């Protein structure tokens, strides 16, 4: 049997209801619903040919061309779906709930699957994502200069039941010129948004949501504007960790990275760091003097952070001394400070 299902109904049943995306591998790679499996009806090239036939000849000929491609492959699609949903209960979608998902639903239904056909397809999920970004959240921002241990604090807070989203983890980038750590590959902008919206759906709007204070761009990925606008006016706790402790933490984090990667990344901020400081930083990297390298680049990053704070309303910023030595102790201090009261957020006219 084939049932029509809305995107909201689908998400309420996830992940208990396996989801199959029948778009091409290229479409799936560009952006997909988290947890979906790709059972592509057409290859990338076949989809182009079917589309060309549709435009140049007509709908009927395009359908026949499509069946010429997929005709010998139906048994393979069904076997793939049996692996994904052995109990024969499955949801299916394409770009906007058209012929591709309809054809797959027909074949699976014929085999005996209970099929849930997602109305509006992936396009409906994208609209749903934008609704998540526009919701009003009780945001609490955690700030602090580079090396203050913000990410470790947020991870520990999440383990203790606080609502936390790690934006840098979703973006696969730590936000600086060295942010890929020479190993991380950023998702597409669309997939970053898909994953972010997926996490937001599970959060309560009446409970604090902790985020790290970020630039709107995390590497090459952009925080969606409605959420970013809320982040900019949210109250912020600014961790004050001693410089030497920050240097020690960063040496531990970056010291084992490939020197060639560090040199190349330093070259990318030459204009902002200055030619003389860039030369000294690169020399320190090549000599293995990691603490000296960190101190040089921190001058630039600390200055950038202070400029960012100046663009916030001072009344919504609360400084919090932190040792940086014990994440547990710093977390308890942070939560006590937050419970005592951070200045309330007041939305500007352009934020709903």
Strand partners, 209: 139, 163
Q: In the numeric block, which tokens belong to residue 261? A: 């990667």
Q: What angle do CA 306, 307, 310 make, to 5 degrees?
A: 90
Question: 81 catalytic, yes or no?
Answer: no
| Range list of H helices, the chain | 7-13, 25-30, 44-56, 59-70, 74-84, 99-111, 121-134, 150-159, 167-171, 189-200, 225-233, 243-254, 259-268, 270-273, 275-287, 290-310, 327-340
The residue annotated as part of the active site, out of 81, 94, 129, 222, is 94
Q: In the numeric block, which tokens belong to residue 36? A: 């979906």
> Coil, strand, or helix at residue 142?
strand
d(CA 133, CA 193): 9
Q: Parallel, antiparallel, or unpaired: how do β-strands 217-218 and 221-222 relate?
A: antiparallel
- Nearby residues of 254 by Cβ (< 8 Å), 6 or more positions away: 178, 181, 262, 290, 294
> Coil, strand, or helix at residue 162?
coil
In contact, 117 and 4? CB cutoff 8 Å: yes
Q: Name the residues annotated as catalytic.
A: 94
């Amino acid at each position: 049997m084939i049932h029509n299902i809305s995107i909201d109904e689908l998400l309420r049943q996830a992940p208990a209801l396996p989801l199959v995306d029948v778009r091409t591998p290229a479409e799936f790679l560009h952006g997909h619903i988290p947890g979906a499996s790709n059972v592509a009806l057409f290859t990338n090239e076949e989809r182009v040919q079917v589309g060309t036939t549709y435009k140049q000849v007509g709908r009927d000929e395009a359908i026949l061309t499509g069946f010429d491609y997929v005709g010998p492959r139906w048994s393979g699609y069904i076997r793939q779906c049996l692996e994904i949903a052995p109990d024969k209960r499955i949801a299916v979608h394409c770009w906007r709930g058209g012929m591709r998902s309809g054809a797959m639903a027909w074949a699976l239904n014929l085999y005996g699957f209970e099929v849930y056909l997602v109305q509006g397809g992936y396009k409906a999920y994208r609209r749903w994502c934008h609704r998540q970004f526009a919701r009003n959240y009780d945001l609490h921002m955690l700030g602090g200069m580079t090396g203050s241990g913000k990410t470790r604090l947020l991870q520990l807070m999440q383990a203790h039941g606080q609502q936390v989203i790690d934006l840098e983890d979703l973006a696969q980038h730590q936000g600086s010129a060295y942010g890929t750590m020479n190993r991380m590959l950023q998702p597409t902008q669309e997939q970053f948004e898909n994953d972010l919206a997926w996490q937001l759906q599970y959060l309560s709007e009446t409970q604090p949501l902790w985020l790290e204070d970020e630039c709107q761009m995390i590497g090459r990925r952009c925080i969606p504007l409605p959420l970013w606008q809320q982040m900019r006016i949210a109250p912020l706790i600014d961790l004050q960790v001693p410089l030497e402790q920050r240097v020690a933490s960063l040496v531990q984090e970056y010291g084992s990275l490939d020197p060639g990667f560090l040199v190349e990344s330093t070259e990318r901020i030459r204009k902002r760091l200055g030619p003389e400081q860039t030369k000294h930083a690169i020399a320190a990297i090549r000599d293995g003097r990691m603490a000296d390298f960190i101190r040089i680049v921190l001058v630039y990053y600390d200055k950038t952070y202070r400029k960012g704070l100046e663009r916030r309303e001072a009344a919504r910023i609360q400084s919090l001394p932190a040792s940086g030595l014990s994440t547990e102790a710093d977390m308890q201090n942070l939560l006590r400070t937050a419970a005592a009261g951070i200045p309330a957020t007041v939305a500007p006219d352009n934020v709903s």
